[in-house]
A and B are shown apart, each in its own frame.
Chain A
Amino acid sequence: MKLFIKYLLILFKSQMQYRTSFLLLTFGQFFIPFSVFAGLYFLFERFGQLKGWDFYEVALCFGIIHMAFAISECLARGFDSFSILIVNGDFDRLLVRPRSTVLQVLGSKFEFTRFGRLLQSSLVLGWAVGNINVDWTVIKIVTLCLMIASGVFVFTGIFMLAAAMCFWTIQGLEIASIFTDGGREMAQYPLNIYQKWVTRFFTFVIPFGCVNYLPLLYILGRAEGSSTLYMLTPIAGLLFIVPCLLVWRFGVRHYRSTGS
């Protein structure tokens, strides 16, 4: 943990060297989800509802998933650009150091400009929480925090899986963006508006539904049956990281250097 914070400090200082560029990028990062959110707002202005969900409920959904995405994009950026490490042969250097590879890859890059995204999603989240028709209890607030944490773990897990693929393919795969960018866009709406196969895939294979939709039913008091079960679903998201870590370790053990 101490080492990780040191990594962060070094990276922060190096990024602050180009201050104008840094500020412009942060500013721009604020506007990417902002334009998507504006689109959402205009759609609700025109249609009024979305299969029984009102605007603030969907905004809460949106805020949670975008916040989780922003945090994990800050953190796991090293995995996202992992193919570069492999192609240059820089990964070999990490292997000889007496620390875990996961920590070192995490620390190899940290995108502070993504704070723009984080700011935008926290504004949306705050707005939604303030306006939504829910009596907030301590347990509900805990659930909300758990949902965000769970989302971070799911996104980070996908980043890791995509990076682990590089051990075999050397090149990064564009297809992985279906699960990161696509997953984010999909999970910003409540899952039940989609066709059955989409819902099933994103609940049982990649647990976006457990991050967002199922616990949201609990918060809104719409859950049928045992509500504690709905409350605890974000834990499935946290567990998603375990198989990803295993695949990563399997990949590291089978890694052959490119020799460059």
Chain B
Amino acid sequence: MRGYLSVFRLRLSIGLQYRGAALAGICTQFFWGFLIIMVFEAFYSQTLTEPPISLTQLITYVWLQQAFLSFIALWFRDNELFQLITSGNIAYELCRPSDIYSLWYAKLLAQRLSSAILRCIPVISVACFLPQPYRLPLPADLSTLMLFVVTLLLGLLILVSISMLIYISTFVTMSSAGSLLMFGVLGEFLAGMIIPVPLMPSWLQSIVNVLPFRLCADLPFRVYSGHITNIEALTLIPLQLLWLSALVGIGKYTISKALRKIVVQGG
């Protein structure tokens, strides 16, 4: 356990080094946020029927999405891991006395956390002071905030276990670009990154609700904005735990199978 913790700490401090890149990223995220909100504003301005999510809740959704982008973006990639697999250097990794799944898991988790810490604080603090209607409202009460944090962190764990599956698939395909692209596009759509889940047609929502992707982003954001009530959120947390254990189980099983059949590429 201590070994994984120190890998995690090391990665976290490496990630926190890139402040300049983070600043550029923050500017880009504000631009995107404004753009998306203006489009939704235009759609909402002349609507005749009551939409299933209010504009304020939607704006909250958009800002949280921008602040926690690195918690939800599937296209985030660690080239080091891909290179380990395709170059054959994985042989060294296998010599280490620690479990490879947990080691990589800690590494990926730390990467996402460090990039989110750098970005979420400035994005959220600025978004809280924007002029109306762009302002990010505070959560209704303390328990909502607590539930938001819990669901967000569980969502992060689910997402990392999904992205582990992408890395494991590299053992079979040897070329990461294709599977990463397909996973990324599909997963992001199903997580509500293109359009929020409540605005999707009902047939699509019933598909989305079965899959784990929306538990990473859509669920915590809607808990924060009050679109999902606290009681409902409490019933969904066990579902998150269930998916998490299932995904980690699948990942551990497939990686052990892939490692048994592994052919170390010479070089």
Contact = CB atoms under 8 A, between A and B. Distances in A.
Q: Do A and B come from one complex?
A: yes
Interface of A: 18, 20-21, 24-25, 27-29, 31-32, 35-36, 38-39, 42-43, 45-52, 173-175, 177-178, 182, 185-186, 189, 193-195, 198
B178 interface: yes
B32 A182 contact: yes
B24 interface: yes
Q: Is the interface of A mostly helix, strand, loop or mixed?
A: helix
Given A35-B185, A174-B21, A193 B38 contact: yes
Contacts of B32: 182, 185
Interface string B165-198: 0000000000101110110011011000011000
Instruction: Report whether over half of chain B's contact residues are helix, strand or loop; otherwise say mixed.
Output: helix
B35 interface: yes
B31 interface: yes
13 contacts: A25-B181, A27-B182, A39-B189, A39-B194, A39-B195, A43-B43, A45-B201, A47-B43, A47-B47, A174-B24, A178-B28, A185-B35, A189-B42
A46 B51 contact: yes
Nearest to A46: B199
Interface residues of B, number: 35
Contact of A35 (B51, B189, B201): B189
A175 B46 contact: no
B185 A193 contact: no
Nearest to A178: B31
Nearest to B204: A42
Contacts, number: 96
Given A24-B182, A51-B42, A185-B32, 16 more contacts: A24-B179, A25-B178, A28-B177, A28-B182, A31-B186, A42-B199, A42-B200, A47-B47, A47-B51, A51-B45, A174-B24, A174-B28, A182-B28, A189-B42, A193-B38, A193-B42
Nearest to B189: A35
Interface of B: 21, 24-25, 27-28, 31-32, 34-35, 38-39, 42-48, 51, 175, 177-179, 181-182, 185-186, 188-189, 194-195, 199-201, 204
B178 A182 contact: no
Contacts of B44: 47
B57 to A, nearest CB: 15
A48 to B, nearest CB: 8
B201 A18 contact: no
